[in-house]
Amino acid sequence: MKAMSRPVAKLKLLSWLVIGFGFSLCTALITTPSWAADKAEPPQKRFLVVIDPAHGGADPGSRFSATSNEKDITLAFARRLRNELQAQNIAARLLRDSDVQLSNDQRAIAANTAQATIFISIHAGLPNTGVRVFTALLPGEVTAPKNRLFIPWETAQAASLRRSREIASKLVDELHRNGVAASGQSAPLSPLNSVAAPAIALELATISQRESKAGKSSEELIKADVQKSLAKLIASVIAAQRPAEESGR
Amino acid sequence: MIARHVQITLTLLLVAVVGIGLYMYRLERKTEEEMRRASDIRSVAPPVNGPTGKITLAIAYDEDGVFRQQQAQAALPSDPGERSREILRTLVSEYTQRPSPHPLASGSDINDVYVLNGDLAVVDTNGAFADSHPSGVLVEDFTLFSMIETLALNMPEIKRVKIIVNGRERSTLAGHADLSPVFDVATIHQAVENLR
């Protein structure tokens, strides 16, 4: 009996080995990119808006009165914008959601690491009222690098500058259409130059000098309903960019 | 009789107290000196002798968000650095007067302008210029644009401009406008043209 059971055991072991090898082979074939590429749809670019509430922590930004600092206004508005974007089913992330200080390099690194589709930096300032939309100011001769493996840090925006300007222009047009004073221009403003995605900066100028000197608080300076309607408007313009950005234009 | 180790401890404490006192005194003097320098509104350079001439200033209008050209008279020495300094000082004096379309704090001034290789101007502003500059993206950018465009209008040989404060590099003018790059005059000129 013993002599008979040994070949059976060997056969069993061999069968298990064959089954195991076959399973591994199937798994490898399914997960091999070249094979999968023939079967699967081309991967769709994730649409992520990264919002940068400027300043924070020991850096208050502009001081509008004894109790009102730019850093508080930017954070309040950034939160509203995130909520409006999320309401439109758009993924949005804040670079800071509390009163912490981040360097401009840290902001650009965070946006690039998150692979932002669109980067929006929020500022608030005098004079006038309305929204000023800024894009990066790069020297005329800087063009998108052919080799995308390494991008110079100071001009990482070059490849996306055209799209940044298009988005800024559409935003200014839409704000005008809705009766909000708006202007667009280039500015040497960090961290725009180092963001490797379409990037704009907004300066909310909804504070009058008179109100600021009267010592009104940040919440009062940009009234909640004004913030909400502005955030909604900006979110709708960003949402309209989704098809173009997802198709990799 | 006081124990030896207590004597040593007390001596060390006494030395530390005296040391900290001296350090605090020096620190206070240094702070006072820095504050005095920052609030010093006296002219930082002697008046320049020589012929005067007409120059063109690119004046920023904050309320309208535009630039307009304006003629002015300024001393025009032959040295490119001195000439550039006089042109920029004339511009800054327009902004420190009241009322001003783009207000800058009184005492804001240009320490010096160094023209290197014939086409690079290094503009050294005084501490009051940057420390008391209004904070904001638009107002800070307008100051840079106005200075660079004014240089471009009157010193066409200058192609690049670097701005420093009190002889040192500074990351931003007043928290917004990035001072780290060497500005390309043609790029700034294009930006100003769009705002005319």
- What residues 101-160 of chain B have any CB closer than 8 A to a CB of chain A? 134-139, 141, 144
Q: What is the domain extent for residue B3? A: 1-39
- Domain assignment present for residue B99? The answer is yes
* CA trace torsion A70, A75, A81, A85 (10° rounding): 150
Query: Contacts of residue B63 in chain A, CB cutoff 8 Å?
Result: 127-128
Separation CA A188–CA A160 (nearest Å): 16
Q: Both B7 and B63 in a single domain?
A: no
- Domain assignment present for residue B31? The answer is yes
Q: What is the pLDDT of residues B64-99, one digit of tens each?
A: 889 999 999 999 999 999 999 999 999 999 999 989
Q: What is the pLDDT of residues B5-58, one digit of tens each?
A: 899 999 999 999 999 999 999 998 888 877 766 555 555 555 666 788 999 999
Structure-model confidence comparison of residues A42 and A156, the more confident one: A156
Task: Determine the 3-state secondary structure of B147 from DSSP.
Answer: helix
Tell me if the bond preceding A191 is cis, omega within 30° of 0. yes
Q: At what angle do helices B80-96 and B137-154 cross, to 10 degrees?
A: 140
Q: Both B114 and B17 in a single domain?
A: no
Say whether A183 and B134 touch across the interface (CB within 8 A).
no
| Dihedral of alpha carbons A205, A210, A215, A220, sign | negative
Q: Both B95 and B152 in a single domain?
A: yes
Please give the pLDDT value at position A198.
96
Please give the pLDDT value at position B63.
87
Q: Both B27 and B77 in a single domain?
A: no
Say whether residue A57 is in contact with chain B using an 8 A CB cutoff: no
Q: Which helix (H) or strand (E) holds A57?
A: none
| Dihedral of alpha carbons B36, B85, A125, A110, sign | negative
Q: Both B124 and B188 in a single domain?
A: yes
- Domain assignment present for residue B121? The answer is yes
Please give the pLDDT value at position B34.
72
Say whether residue B176 is in contact with chain A using an 8 A CB cutoff: yes
Separation CA A95–CA B186 (nearest Å): 34
- Domain assignment present for residue B44? The answer is no
Nearest CA in chain B to A192: B178
Please give the pLDDT value at position A244.
82
For chain B, how many structural domains are there in total?
2
- Domain assignment present for residue B47? The answer is no
Q: What is the pLDDT of residues B176-194, one digit of tens each?
A: 999 999 999 999 999 999 8
Q: Both B59 and B34 in a single domain?
A: no
Q: Read off the pLDDT of each residue in A2-29 and give the average, rounded to a whole number.
A: 66
Q: Both B65 and B128 in a single domain?
A: yes
- Domain assignment present for residue B61? The answer is yes
Q: Which helix (H) or strand (E) holds B34?
A: helix B4-38
Please give the pLDDT value at position A206.
61
| CA–CA min distance A62, chain B (Å) | 5
Say whether B136 and A126 touch across the interface (CB within 8 A).
yes
Nearest CA in chain A to B144: A188
pTM summary value: 0.77
Separation CA A180–CA A196 (nearest Å): 29
Structure-model confidence comparison of residues A25 and B33, the more confident one: B33
Q: Both B78 and B118 in a single domain?
A: yes
Cross-strand bridge partners of residue B69? B58
Q: How many CB pairs under 8 A join A and B?
A: 78
Q: What is the pLDDT of residues B128-166, one digit of tens each?
A: 999 999 999 999 999 999 999 999 999 999 999 999 999
Say whether residue A182 is in contact with chain B using an 8 A CB cutoff: no
End-to-end CA distance of chain A: 74
Q: Both B32 and B95 in a single domain?
A: no
Q: Both B60 and B132 in a single domain?
A: yes
Please give the pLDDT value at position B9.
93
- Domain assignment present for residue B185? The answer is yes
Indicate the pLDDT class of residue A211, thresholds 50, 70 and 90.
low
Q: Both B5 and B77 in a single domain?
A: no
Q: Read off the pLDDT of each residue in A206-216 and give the average, rounded to a whole number.
A: 54
Q: Both B58 and B34 in a single domain?
A: no
- Domain assignment present for residue B46? The answer is no
Please give the pLDDT value at position A34.
43
